[in-house]
């Protein structure tokens, strides 16, 4: 055990040295959409193909567990396979968990903490309460990983691996995933209430929320494509059906027959926790149907439809491009997921590797 610890300490030190001194460059796993951390452009219309690009990582490395826990991803995938075959919606719920983690204090597994002595759980925030799912699956992955490689794989990395695995198991793209995030010792209820965009956001609101995290309009559109799987509660789209602009009228950008269908799921009073698919065409398949639906006025949330109806040239173009070209969407989704996954990670000696994802170590 002692020699393992020594080895681990040396390895960590090495990593800390490496990450403070250099920028890592990796070939982007897809044949296009390079351009580095800033986001660059998107191949809309014409010359979509770009040379293989590079990506800047914030001290995280795809091979981080290569020696300390080489089987980490296999363990994650085997638990995911079981969980998703039992409940197909679970893939969506796990993908969303990573998003709600990264937008609050960075990707540090703060979202997984229950109430602590000095902080209140993010699970109680407006966007998360009665909404986030999948905590038991994360616990199961963690307990299998603790058995195989004790005190090694962080809960924040489990969220990132589960998000990728869930995408893959739903038919979506894979990507090279930088790892080495460490777990926070606190959560932020305020941060959760302030930083996660509400479903009735305008296009300007959405851009502002994403810019605050260092994400651009390309990331906004590609990551919104996560809504190609999963469900939303009536309370998140009721405003659109009955009083979108304070005039007791439905949202005029909502397609008529879809509007009538939604009213049966989401009555004017009550029914707040009834659920409807975000992508009614294929709610458990990760494809580009989400963008096609938006083109026909069948985006479920205001935040989905305004990517087109918000009249912002760039997001409109992207919705059309992704509706037209599934491979283009997939490549951008992977790229933007890596960017989102790089938001404010704890590395080196910061944070800890939690033993239980719901509570900080003693
Ligand atoms: C662009 C701003 C976004 C807004 C306003 C938004 C809002 C929402 C809302 C309101 C729900 C339904 C929650 C409920 O009713 O309980 C939802 C579900 C979901 N969101 Fe987002 N979201 C956004 C971006 C994202 C991103 C970036 C991801 C992941 C990369 C994501 C993944 C998901 C998934 C997969 C679901 C379905 C979850 C399930 O079925 O359990 N969303 N989102
Ligand atoms: C969180 O918000 C509450 C009420 O809005 C405020 O009283 C509190 O000081 C805030 N805490 C932090 C850490 O910002
Ligand atoms: C969004 O919903 C919140 C809470 O219901 C409300 O206070 C706010 O005015 C709405 N925003 C827009 C742009 O409709």
Q: Is 244 in the pocket of ligand 3 (CB under 6 A)?
A: no
What distance in angstroms lies between residue 44's CA and the mean position of ligand 1's atoms? 25
Angle at 96 between CA 215 and CA 151, to 5 degrees: 95
User: Smallest Cα–Cα separation from 97: which of 62, 135, 124?
Assistant: 135
Q: Is the pLDDT of residue 7 over 80?
A: no
What distance in angstroms lies between residue 316's CA and the mean position of ligand 3's atoms? 23
Structure tokens at 312: 């912002």
Q: Is 282 in the pocket of ligand 3 (CB under 6 A)?
A: no
Q: For residue range 124-137, what is the model confidence (pLDDT) as tens digits?
A: 999 999 999 999 99
Question: In the block, which residue shows the tokens 């304070």?
Answer: 246
User: Smallest Cα–Cα separation from 195: which of 205, 185, 204, 203?
Assistant: 205
Q: What is the number of other CB atoms lying within 10 angstroms of the CB of residue 45? A: 10
Prediction pTM value: 0.86
pLDDT of residue 283: 98
Taking residues 4-10, what's their average pLDDT? 40
User: b or e along 142-175 (b: 16 or more beta carbons within 10 Å of the residue's beta carbon)?
Assistant: bebbbeebeebbbbbbbbbbbbbbbbbbbebbeb
pLDDT of residue 340: 98
pLDDT of residue 30: 31
Q: For residue range 11-49, what is the model confidence (pLDDT) as tens digits?
A: 443 333 333 333 333 333 332 222 233 333 333 333 333
Of all protein residues, whose CA lies closest to atom 3 belonging to ligand 3? 200
How far is Cα of residue 121 from the mean position of the Cα atoms in its chain?
A: 19
Q: What is the number of other CB atoms lying within 10 angstroms of the CB of residue 276? A: 18
Nearest atom, ligand 3, residue 205 CA: 13
Of all protein residues, whose CA lies closest to atom 36 belonging to ligand 1? 230
Pocket lining for ligand 1, CB < 6 angstroms? 89, 92-93, 95-96, 99, 131, 133, 197, 199, 201, 206, 223-224, 226-227, 229-233, 236, 278, 301, 303
Q: Is 205 in the pocket of ligand 3 (CB under 6 A)?
A: no
pLDDT band at 58 (very low <50, low <70, confident <90, very high): low
- What percent of the chain is modeled with pLDDT above 70? 84
Give yes or no for a contact between 171 and 145, defined as CB atoms under 8 angstroms apart. Answer: no
Residue 98 bears catalytic tag = no
Report the distance separating Cα 93 and Cα 191, nearest Å.
20
Q: Which of 94, 96, 133, 170, when mutated, tests ligand 1's pocket best, judged by the most ligand atoms within 8 Å of its CB?
A: 96
pLDDT of residue 219: 98
What distance in angstroms lies between residue 127's CA and the mean position of ligand 2's atoms? 17
Of all protein residues, whose CA lies closest to atom 12 belonging to ligand 3? 200
Q: Which of 126, 197, 239, 240, when mutated, tests ligand 3's pocket best, judged by the most ligand atoms within 8 Å of its CB?
A: 239
3-state helix, strand, coil in the chain (%, to 5): 50, 5, 50
pLDDT band at 59 (very low <50, low <70, confident <90, very high): confident
Give yes or no for a contact between 107 and 181, defined as CB atoms under 8 angstroms apart. Answer: yes
User: Smallest Cα–Cα separation from 228: which of 308, 292, 161, 137?
Assistant: 292
């Amino acid at each position: 055990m002692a020699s393992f610890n020594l080895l681990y300490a040396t390895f960590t030190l090495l990593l800390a040295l490496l990450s403070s001194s250099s920028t890592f460059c990796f070939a982007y796993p897809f044949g296009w959409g390079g351009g580095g951390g800033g986001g660059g452009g998107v191949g809309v219309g014409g010359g979509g193909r770009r040379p293989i690009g590079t990506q800047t990582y914030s001290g995280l490395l795809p091979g981080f567990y290569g020696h300390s826990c080489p089987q980490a991803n296999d363990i994650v995938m085997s638990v995911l396979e079981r969980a998703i075959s039992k409940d197909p919606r679970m893939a969506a719920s796990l993908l969303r968990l990573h998003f709600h983690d990264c937008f609050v204090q960075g990707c540090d597994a703060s979202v997984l903490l229950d109430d602590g002595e000095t902080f209140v759980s993010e699970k109680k925030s407006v966007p998360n309460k009665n909404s986030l799912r999948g905590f038991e699956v994360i616990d199961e992955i963690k307990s299998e990983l603790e058995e195989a490689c004790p005190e090694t794989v962080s809960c924040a990395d489990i969220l990132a691996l589960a998000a990728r695995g869930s995408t893959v198991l739903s038919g979506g793209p894979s990507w090279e995933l930088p790892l080495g995030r460490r777990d926070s010792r606190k959560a932020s209820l305020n941060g959760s209430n302030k930083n996660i965009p509400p479903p009735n956001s305008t296009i300007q609101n959405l851009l502002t929320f994403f810019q605050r995290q260092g994400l651009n309009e390309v990331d906004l559109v590609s990551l919104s494509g996560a809504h190609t799987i999963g469900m939303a509660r009536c309370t998140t789209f009721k405003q659109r059906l009955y009083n979108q602009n304070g005039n007791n009228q439905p949202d005029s950008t909502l397609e008529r027959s879809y509007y009538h269908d939604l009213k049966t799921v989401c009555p004017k009073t009550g029914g707040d926790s009834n659920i409807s698919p975000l992508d009614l065409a294929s709610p458990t398949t990760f494809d580009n149907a989400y963008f096609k639906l938006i083109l026909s006025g069948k985006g479920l949330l205001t935040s989905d439809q305004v990517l087109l109806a918000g009249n912002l040239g760039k997001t409109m173009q992207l919705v059309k491009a992704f509706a037209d070209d599934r491979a283009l969407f997939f490549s951008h989704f992977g790229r933007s997921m890596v960017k989102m996954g790089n938001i404010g990670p704890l590395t080196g000696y910061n944070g800890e590797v939690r033993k239980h994802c719901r509570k900080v170590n003693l």
